[in-house]
């Protein structure tokens, strides 16, 4: 019986993991859009350019001003794209940290609620009977 329960619990964990992966993929697209369409344009305002097009040419033959054309001409360090991915990662990591923190707080509160309270003192009649039993046992 215990073996069957463990197998069932394992299947439940696999389903939970699959749901987590699917939600993570959907959440990733939301974060990508947030970074690409909202955060990076605001950061790009300070440089008057599209942040994802920042790059360093590694060859003198590169004359393009945007990243796609520059990559066609030769090797480039696309540090703007890298910065975009770093911001994306930081947002996902922060959200996951907050979720885990909330879950741990919830588990602690559930454990505190599930902890047995101190038992109520026995009724006076029971205490009296216990004393009588102890006195009879001494005789």
Q: What is the pTM of this model?
A: 0.56
| Residue 139: inside a domain | no
What span, in angstroms and rounded, lies between the C-alpha atoms of 100 and 114? 21
The string of pLDDT tens digits covering residues 32-72 is: 888 778 877 777 777 655 577 788 888 888 888 888 899 89
| Residue 134: inside a domain | no
The boundaries of the domain holding residue 54 are 2-117
What span, in angstroms and rounded, lies between the C-alpha atoms of 11 and 27? 24
The string of pLDDT tens digits covering residues 97-137 is: 888 898 888 888 877 777 676 778 888 899 888 989 988 89
**How many structural domains does the chain have?**
1
The predicted pLDDT at position 48 comes to: 57
Q: Among 16-25, 49-58, 85-94, where is mean pLDDT lowest?
A: 49-58
Secondary structure (DSSP) of 16-74? HHHHHHHHHHHHHHHHHHIIIIIIHHHHHHTTTS-GGG--EESSTT---SSHHHHHHHS
| Residue 127: inside a domain | no
Tokens 């990559």 found at: 71
* CATH for 22: 1.10.1200.120
| Residue 27: inside a domain | yes
């Amino acid at each position: 019986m215990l073996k069957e329960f463990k197998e069932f619990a394992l299947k439940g964990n696999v389903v939970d993991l699959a749901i987590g992966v699917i939600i993570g993929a959907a959440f990733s697209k939301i974060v990508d859009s947030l970074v690409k369409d909202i955060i990076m344009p605001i950061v790009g305002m300070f440089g008057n350019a599209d942040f994802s097009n920042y790059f360093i040419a590694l060859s003198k033959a590169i004359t393009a001003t945007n990243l796609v054309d520059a990559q066609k001409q030769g090797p480039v360090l696309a540090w703007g794209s890298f910065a975009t991915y770093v911001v994306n990662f930081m947002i996902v990591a922060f959200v996951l940290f907050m979720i885990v923190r909330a879950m741990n707080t919830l588990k602690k509160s559930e454990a505190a609620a599930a902890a047995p309270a101190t038992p109520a003192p026995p009724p006076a009649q029971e205490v009296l009977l216990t004393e009588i039993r102890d006195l009879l046992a001494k005789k």
